[in-house]
Chain A
């Protein structure tokens, strides 16, 4: 609770300072422009089943978050400042109550060059079921388990656009630990993960200088991205803590090379993401490959229906339950899986859409089913419904940790 009060106090001060700075939400096309926008949300997550692990919240979990964004740019639009704090307050899980700076950066554009200093988020992937190639940012796992929420990563980024594509170098330090639910939280490992006390495989710990190189371009119908990364693994391994009451996350140095590729033709999208990673157990490869086909204007309506099929492979060391006490574990839900998805876009004034995704393990059977639906209400409200079911027919699959944690989230957001 003390932590929460501290966060709230610092947020309050911050908002006051910013309110003075950005007294008016000025329209664009002045000599320079100040601007802000943001989202505030109320959310309830319901768990119909009783929890599996001791201490977990039962029934409903109430939560709320605020994410304002403050922007400045000069008249020439070649110098930009951005500040995006994020705070979530969770009624049940004090580890889910957290504060992050999603963006706090200065960007300078000079001809074909682009420089960025500060914290930001970078998204590279093309596939839908998993985002393998995103290595720059740590996942804000307490937000959602879909690996689409990221913690801001401090960096210096230098980009160069040329006729042959774009080259980027990312120099990063100030590694961010992955967030995990606390003892009270659902959708967690049998014992909670003790964050803030991570063990590193390198002497400089989180201040290790991480480097990434990125090349991206399009060639006709192909969009290609390549990357190389050397630094602290964003995915931890877990070791049983000395008190036997929690897992301690271990972060080692890895070297990773990866590719993302999409071929776009007619209503077809063919997608591929692959990585090879050295330094996390035995060197392994992981792949997501698939396709998406969209039926536009189904039955002469405005509705688009997209169908997605993706195959997933992850060759990392297998999790071994019997040896949890001795061995580090490397959870991967996606060792040999098939993803089937459907995307329904109503293309109405309210931008209503529904996304359904089902993952099944080729060896262990069904793993999880997820549904996301959203619709704008009026001009600046949005309602979202997210449901996910975990199936228990997969005793060897890490998803079985969550077999009692099927949930439905209802979120109402106001945008400003």
Chain B
């Protein structure tokens, strides 16, 4: 992979060799070159990402159910508002407000997702009525004690990763492209992730997370998809299982609301104190 990337910058002589290899490869009915697999992986991810373009803004309430290895449960209820920015070179704006547990009721997290730079994040603490700009270096840390890391929740932007298409296989009743993606941004807790994206609706069905040592850490399932406005698919159940600790976190989404009239002015630090 890396070698090919470097080759790309070399002179045309290398391309001639490469082309030769490719021709030979195709004659031998061998798998296509790694570069093409990368492009194919990117295309699958891009098709998935763009199937979602144009929703403008949305709001959804969800319940988070945390289970430890012995099955004891703990719950959080929160509301997530998202503002889509038309420019693909900047990420979406995101606002999460907690309704429960009761002691953190009203706590709000505002994020401006970036592509490769660290996100901008502000945390609102209702007990003090204080807004804190916080470091977003903590990408791999647990989000409110759950099995979701910050990076799993905020900004699934296309350009945050590089991709390689792996294979095609059945996923339930559908057929999926299996694509590996590797984070390009700093401070990720993952070396790679493997995603299953179906070929019918172009939606993610499963995602495996591999830790910094390269071992399988977590598996996330996306279930209960519903179609809104004949256009936008949303999974209403996310299941995250940590294989190394035996803990799990499930997210249960209520119905999404689209075009609820949110604008830039609702995603500023000054708006955090009026969410509840």
Contact = CB atoms under 8 A, between A and B. Distances in A.
Interface of A: 28-29, 35, 37, 39, 71, 76, 80, 107, 109, 111-112, 114, 121-123, 125-126, 148, 159, 161, 166, 216, 218, 223, 262, 264, 266-269, 294, 296-297, 302, 304, 347-351, 376, 379-380, 382, 413, 415-416
Given A216-B269, A351-B145, A294 B129 contact: no
Contacts of B269: 216, 218, 223
Contacts, number: 101
B101 interface: yes
B217 to A, nearest CB: 12
A347 B137 contact: no
Contacts of A269: 133, 135
Nearest to A27: B61
B206 to A, nearest CB: 25
B102 interface: yes
A76 B103 contact: no
B219 interface: no
A380 B103 CA distance: 7
B56 interface: no
B270 A166 contact: yes
Contact of B274 (A80, A262, A379, A413): A80
Interface in B105-124: 105-106, 118, 120
Interface in B56-85: 61, 66, 68, 74-75, 79
A262 B133 contact: yes
B63 to A, nearest CB: 11
Contacts of B183: none
A350 B79 CA distance: 20
Consensus secondary structure, chain B interface: mixed
B276 interface: yes
Given A351-B104, A413-B103, 5 more contacts: A29-B254, A37-B105, A218-B133, A267-B137, A294-B135
B246 to A, nearest CB: 14
B261 interface: yes
A335 B133 CA distance: 27
Interface residues of B, number: 41
B96 to A, nearest CB: 15
B135 A114 contact: no
B142 interface: yes
B72 to A, nearest CB: 9
Given A71-B276, A267-B135, A379 B120 contact: no
A123 B75 CA distance: 29
Nearest to B257: A29
A28 B270 contact: no
Interface string B21-53: 000000000000000000000000000000000
A304 B135 CA distance: 12
Interface string B133-157: 1110110111011000000000000
A97 B153 CA distance: 44
B68 A349 contact: yes
A413 B103 CA distance: 9
